[in-house]
Amino acid sequence: MPIYEYICDDCENGFEALVLGSDAPECPECKSKNVKKLMSACSFKSNSSNPSEPAKTSASSSACSGCTATSCASCSSG
């Protein structure tokens, strides 16, 4: 299912929304439809063939090396 990240142009609230077809997302804070879709980083989990090795994610190679957030919208450097 397509879940996209948005930011509201009116109140600057960042949020995620499930968008189907031609539905227009609405800001959950101020109910505005004046929102922009953000570019999201793709992330996936790769199972290691070695059980003692930690699983790697694509997000771990981002510019925010110390970041543990699941969304770049919450990152203060982005």
Sequence spans of domains, the chain: 1-40
pLDDT tens string 19-71: 888 888 999 999 999 999 998 776 666 666 666 666 555 544 445 555 555 55
Instruction: Look at 46 and 75; give whichever has higher pLDDT.
Output: 46
CA dihedral 65, 67, 75, 62 (to 10 degrees): 40
Residues 6, 15: contact at Cβ < 8 Å?
Answer: yes
Residues 55, 44: contact at Cβ < 8 Å?
Answer: no
CATH 3.30.750 fits 1-40, yes or no: no
> 26: Cβ–Cβ under 8 A, 6 or more apart, which residues?
17, 32, 33, 35
Write down the pLDDT at residue 31: 96
Q: How far is C-alpha 29 from the geometric centre of its chain's CA atoms?
A: 18
pLDDT at 10 over 80: yes
Write down the pLDDT at residue 22: 86
Residues 30, 6: contact at Cβ < 8 Å?
Answer: no
